[in-house]
Amino acid sequence: MRERGSEPQMQDRRNFFRALVTGIGATIAAILAAPLAAFFALPAFRKPDTVWRQCGPLEHFPVGEITLVPLTPLAKREWPEDWGTEAAWVSRTSQQEFVIYNVHCTHVGCPVTWSPQARCFFSPCDGGVFDAEGRVLAGPPPRPLDRYEVKIEGGVLFAGRVYHVDDRLARTT
């Protein structure tokens, strides 16, 4: 006849098996839940794809000139309504080199205008002035004009994401 263990031993065994079953259950639940959690959480961390917006055929941009182009808005703006249309300044610095500037001043966002005579961008709001490469010459803007990523495809110029540059015109974002 088999001898039964003492009551404390039995209790230990019961506790051990209870912990084992709980552990296995938790592991199975985690394995099943992980793909579901990843499905919902990952899009929040994924960088959205770049939307490339057409600026126009290359021949529209004479070398050495800076030209204003309308950009298709990425999203409809409710306010202020007159910002519903986006634009960019395209600078063609050589046959194959372009810089696309964000039209909004880096102070509080007023749309800058380009003066070919002065070869400067002027902000209409607080006296901000930028040189032809977007560097701050005067006023309160905290950094040079923001730029768009540039792509040329099939003889057409495209503007991608906006990024910031520092005073040496090195990309910072």
Residue with smaller CB distance to ligand FES, 128 or 144: 128
Q: How far is the CB of 130 from ligand FES (least distance, A)?
A: 9
Q: How far is the CB of 103 from ligand FES (least distance, A)?
A: 11
Q: Which helix (H) or strand (E) holds 21?
A: helix 7-45
Written as six digits, the tokens of 49 are 């794809």
- Backbone phi, then psi, for 29, in 5-degree steps? -60, -40
Cα separation, 86 vs 109, whole angstroms: 12
Q: How far is the CB of 123 from ligand FES (least distance, A)?
A: 3
Residue with smaller CB distance to ligand FES, 98 or 123: 123
Residue with smaller CB distance to ligand FES, 40 or 79: 79
Residues contributing to the site for ligand FES (CB under 6 A): 105, 107-108, 110, 123, 125-126, 128, 139-141
